[in-house]
Each structure stands twice: as structure tokens, then as C-alpha cells.
Amino acid sequence: MNTLKIAIQKSGRLNEDSLRLLRSCGIAVDNGTDQLKVTTPNFPLEIFYLRNSDIPQYLEDGVVDVGIIGKNLLVESGSNVRVVERLGFARCRLSLAIPKSAVGSEVTYFEGRKIATSYPNTTSAYLRSKNVVAEIHEISGSVEIAPNIGLADGICDLVSSGSTLFKNNLKEIETVATSEAVLACAPIITETAKEILDKLLFRIKAVQRAKNSKYILLNVPNEKIAAVSSILPVLRSPTVLPLSEPGWSSLHSVIDEQKFWDVIDELKRAGAEDILIVPIDKMVL
């Protein structure tokens, strides 16, 4: 069958955002609560709903062509798998943490001590790179509890808001790696799968670009158009349309949302009024 086989986490932190991404690419997706393998009616995809931790191996073996997983897991599995696109969700970091009451603020704290983690390979590589010799105690979940029950002197685990560390009386001392969800590709895929992947990537990029950009409309007196335009961090020169009120124009353009906040005060000082910022659904350049 001429399809691209894609692995998605069956349930957990990546599931919802992965499905949302495919849907925002115009692909009709079933949520996979009953079936572990579904095809999509309006795009040549075969979706495999799998355990997150199994996806790197399925990719490496070529059972699936691509998969959405956390970069942290790819690094840990050491698999020969290519990242083809960063997806910007499930952002977190793998960090070292120790009890709040412990004296120490860096990795050397762990010299000759015991560290609990679900990421033994990444953790030992980091300790090696820092010339620290520590004992690694591997556990598969609820790692933050380990120091409190005397299982280890500290941990190396994923942190996002930091609330799990806080609740367990731990303090973060060093970031080992940062992570986000990525689209990863098997070492070898067929030409047909590659063509479908290119189409999927084209859509994903259009969606990602749109997410970070906003459509901006503002009114400005004609004599201030040049000044306002020079401040706007836009893709190209803005569209200028006359208002029915003589001497005034409306400026339209696309801007990076973050940059907009940096220049808002300057824009107002230069004469911009009635500023509207509108979301963009898709953006093809």
C-alpha cells in the first residue's frame, strides 16, 4: 500500500498534541482508542498507536517510517534515527536534582553517591563528560520519590514546571539536556514514503509558521506610514490601503508575535492607532 506509516503515542503526554498537529494539517484522524492501527481517509497515512518507549525501536527496525516522540527518548535509546522536524510541544528538560536541604549546587555533588533515573544512558554519559563517578539506580517512574525513601542521594529526571520537584522537596542543580517533541524518521524509507513525508512536512511547516505569526492591522496618518513601516518587524513591506477618512491609511502585514511585543510602544509613539492582532491558520511562503 502506498502510505506513510507513522507512530504516535497511544496515550500520555504526546498523544493529544500529536493528533492536534495532524488535524491542523487537514488530516482526518481517529483517536485510536479502539484500534491500534488506523488509516486516514483524506491523506495516505497509516497511524500506529504505540507505547512511547517502544517507538525508537519500531523506527530503527523500519516497522514504521516516522514517529512523533520526545527528543529525550531518542537520545536515551541511542538509536540510528533522524530528526526531520522539531514540533515545539512537550518542551521539558532532563535535570539533576538533590534534596533542598543538601549542600551542593553542581554535578560534583554526585561523586561517590547514588543517583536515581529513568534515563541511565543519558545520565551516565553526562556524568562521564564531567568526570564524576556515581552509582546509577534505574527506576521507570516516580523518580522524584527516590531521595525521600532513601533509595538515592538525588535524581536525574524530566522537569517542566518544576512542581513535582517542589512537592518532593528537591532542588534542580544542573540541566543535562533539553527536549521537545520531534518528528523522527527511520534510517531507510521507500521513495513513495519519502514523497508522502515531504507533503506532510510541507503542511507541518505551514502550520508551525502560522502558530508563531500574527496578522497585524493598524491605522496611521499618511505622513507617518514610512516611520511606522520601518519599525514593523514584518516579512515583506506592508500592504497600505486608504481609509475613507482623508489623510489616513490602514497598514496590514504579518509579524512574529514575540517581536510585536518588543515594538508595540515604539509603534504607538510613531503614530500607529487602532492596532489589531489576528491569528493566522496556515502560512505558505
Ligand X SMILES: O=P(O)(O)OC[C@H]1O[C@H](OP(=O)(O)OP(=O)(O)O)[C@H](O)[C@@H]1O
Ligand Y SMILES: Nc1ncnc2c1ncn2[C@@H]1O[C@H](COP(=O)(O)OP(=O)(O)OP(=O)(O)O)[C@@H](O)[C@H]1O
Q: ∠ CA(87), CA(92), CA(95), 5° rounding? A: 145
Q: CB 259: neighbour CB atoms within 10 A?
A: 15
Interface with ligand X (CB under 6 A), residue from 126, 157, 210, 225: 157
Out of ligand Y, ligand X, none, which partner does residue 175 contact, by CB within 5 to 8 A per kind? none
Q: How far is the CB of 168 from ligand X (least distance, A)?
A: 9
Name the minimum Å distance from CB 256 to ligand Y. 24
Q: Is 141 in the site for ligand X (CB under 6 A)?
A: yes
Nearest residue (CB) to ligand Y, 70 versus 238: 70
Residues 8-37: x where in contact with ligand X by CB under 6 A, - otherwise, as a string = -----x------------------------
Nearest residue to 182 via CA among 105, 91, 254: 91
Do 216 and 235 touch, CB atoms closer than 8 A? no
The binder of 14, among ligand X, ligand Y, none, by C-beta within 5 to 8 A per type, is ligand Y
Alpha carbon 252 to its chain centroid, in Å, reads 30
Of 164 and 222, CB closest to ligand X: 164
Residue 52 interacts with, from ligand Y, ligand X, none (CB under 5-8 Å by kind): ligand Y
| Chosen residue from 104, 162, 221, 271 binding ligand X by CB under 6 A | 162
CB of 52 to ligand X, least distance (A): 9
Q: For the chain, how far is it from start to end, CA to CA, in angstroms?
A: 32
| Positions that interact with ligand Y (CB under 6 A) | 9, 12-14, 51-53, 70, 72-73, 90, 92, 158, 160, 179
- 195-226 per-residue burial string, b: 16 or more CB within 10 A, e: under 16: ebbeebbebbbbbbbbbebbebbbbbbeebbe
Closest-by-Cβ residue to ligand Y is 70
What is the C-alpha to C-alpha distance for residues 68 and 260, in angstroms, rounded to an integer? 31
Q: Does 159 bind ligand X (CB under 6 A)?
A: yes
- In sequence order, the 6+-apart residues with CB closer than 8 A to the CB of 254 are 213, 214, 215, 216, 234, 235, 280, 283
3-state class (DSSP) for residue 42: coil
CA distance 147 to 72: 23
Structural contact between residues 32 and 26, judged by C-beta atoms closer than 8 angstroms: no
Residue 261 Cβ, how far from ligand Y at the closest point, in Å? 24
In the complex, the smallest distance separating the C-beta of residue 170 from ligand X, rounded to whole angstroms, is 10
Shortest CB 161 distance to ligand X, Å = 3
- Cα dihedral 211, 217, 220, 226, rounded to 10, equals 50
Among 65, 76, 85, 144, binds ligand X (CB under 6 A): 144
Among 31, 164, 212, 229, binds ligand X (CB under 6 A): 164
Asked if residues 66 and 78 have their Cβ atoms less than 8 Å apart, the reply is no
| Cα diameter, the chain | 78
Q: Least distance to ligand Y from the beta carbon of 64, Å?
A: 15
Of residues 65 and 76, the one with the C-beta less far from ligand X: 76
94 binds ligand X (CB under 6 A): no
Q: Can you give the binding site for ligand X, defined by CB under 6 A?
A: 13, 141-142, 144, 157-164
